[in-house]
A and B are shown apart, each in its own frame.
Chain A
Amino acid sequence: MNWILGAMVLATLIPMYAACQNQDIWQKMLAFASIATKTSVAIIVISVLQDDWFIGMVGSIILSVGNASLMLLAQVLKRLNQTNPGY
């Protein structure tokens, strides 16, 4: 099962590289969304590997709450873009 985790870590490197390269903030938000989802799924995989329900519960909470923080950030950035294009 460890190879799944290894593949997820390698897959995490792709959006990190994209976030480094791109100057558009929405591309960075996409990378953030991708990484947030990947890491929380990785936490759930770890909980299965370690047979720990507590970590699994935390992983599922982070999976749902991560999207909420993304939405909050996107709302504010959208308003910034409306008043001052280019951010």
Chain B
Amino acid sequence: MTEVMTDWDVGVIVLLLPLAAAMVVFQDNPYHALVVRGILGAIAALVYALLGAADVALTEALMGTMLGTALSVVAMRSSLVLRLGVLATEVAAPTPEFTALCEDLRRGIAPHHLRLEVVPYDDCAALHRALVERDIHGVCTRSRAAALHGPVCQYATVLRVSRLYEILRAAIASPTMHLIYGADPEKVVLVDPVADPFNSTADQADQSEGLVPQEPH
């Protein structure tokens, strides 16, 4: 350290580092924590440059702050998500019940900092294939009986991830939605009740192992 700066000056600047670190620790939203991690990186670079390690400061700014933050936010964006497969017709012309259901789902997963991504598929076969291939975490279709009874649409959501099922089960008590846990996606039978409410596939589906979308009891 040169004679220009006293130990007191250096001490005050170095104290910013634990302060910023404490700020990172006390953030509960991961995205907020990442932004505050950027602040920590900037202050760390200042401290390293102050103590004479200019190369370390440059590495901290380039790798720690820029690359680390950018990669973390991309990883977080693709992992902290609930991908819900639906039929394309639902997205093209959403019913008020479907919109309310999406809002309910968003509200249910928001405390865990997850976001909802609705993925449209053309038909039930594509939807089922996506569920089996683990491309999506769950599917949401209209209940078969809803097509038979009355104007109110009812939806059944089949989730293949048990933790997501627990979270949503505790958070959501919507009368228009029925949650089902499908541990084995292969056994989930999806029918398109709007296209053909009386077809034989639906009757066959009722006999499978309780994994078809059913009416709440």
Using a CB–CB distance below 8 Å, which chain A residues touch chain B? 1-2, 5-6, 9, 12-13, 16, 19-20, 23, 25, 28-29, 31-32, 35-36, 39-40, 42-43, 46-47, 49-50, 52, 54-55, 57-59, 61-62, 65-66, 68-70, 72-73, 76-77, 79-80, 83-84, 86-87
Q: How large is the interface on B (under 10, 10 to 19, 20 to 34, 35 or more residues)?
A: 35 or more
In the complex, the answer to whether A72 meets B66 with C-beta atoms within 8 Å is yes
Using a CB–CB distance below 8 Å, which chain B residues touch chain A? 2, 4-6, 9, 12-13, 16, 19-20, 23, 29, 31-32, 34-36, 38-39, 42-43, 45-46, 49-50, 52, 54-55, 57-58, 61-62, 65-66, 69-70, 73-74, 77, 106, 110, 115-117
**Closest 10 A-B residue pairs measured CB to CB?**
A69-B66, A84-B115, A39-B46, A58-B54, A62-B61, A43-B49, A36-B42, A28-B35, A39-B42, A55-B54
In the complex, the answer to whether B42 meets A66 with C-beta atoms within 8 Å is yes
B9 to chain A, nearest CB (A): 6
Chain B hits for A57, CB < 8 A: 54
Task: Check A16/B66 contact, CB under 8 A, given A36-B38, A77-B31.
Answer: no
In the complex, the answer to whether B16 meets A12 with C-beta atoms within 8 Å is yes
In the complex, the answer to whether B12 meets A6 with C-beta atoms within 8 Å is yes
